[in-house]
Amino acid sequence: EDQVTQSPEALRLQEGESSSLNCSYTVSGLRGLFWYRQDPGKGPEFLFTLYSAGEEKEKERLKATLTKKESFLHITAPKPEDSATYLCAVHPNTGGFKTIFGAGTRLFVKA
């Protein structure tokens, strides 16, 4: 069964304290892995797409990496405005257009 697991469930950081979020996936072939940011009361907002192992994408303080079994979202010197829930999602290679989401990591950054 296709599955996405994110860890930790919640992460509390001090401003400037770098860390990483993990997304482990089990799919019958990966067409794409996506990271989204979700603020309270809003829909998810797209951050990155990764397609193959070894690929990396960066945007400001965020960097996403991909291996054959997992993806990491590295946050360098986070600021309070980075506080949000970060969702990982995959498109499995099973036909159709179903996206499978992880439960997310709630990130809290304290000033």
Partner 1 sequence: SAVISQKPSRDICQRGTSLTIQCQVDSQVTMMFWYRQQPGQSLTLIATANQGSEATYESGFVIDKFPISRPNLTFSTLTVSNMSPEDSSIYLCSAGGTMNTEAFFGQGTRLTVV
CB of 18 to partner 1, least distance (A): 25
Nearer to partner 1, 17 or 100 (CB): 100
Q: What is the DSSP letter of 97?
A: -
Contact footprint for partner 1 (CB under 8 A): 4, 9, 31-32, 34, 41-46, 49, 51, 87, 89, 91, 97-99, 101-104
Cα separation of 94 and 74, whole Å? 29
SS3 (DSSP) at 33: strand
Nearer to partner 1, 34 or 82 (CB): 34
Nearer to partner 1, 17 or 63 (CB): 63
SS3 (DSSP) at 102: coil
Cα separation of 34 and 104, whole Å? 12
CB of 35 to partner 1, least distance (A): 10
Alpha carbons within 13 angstroms on the beta-carbon side of residue 37 total 14
CB of 40 to partner 1, least distance (A): 10
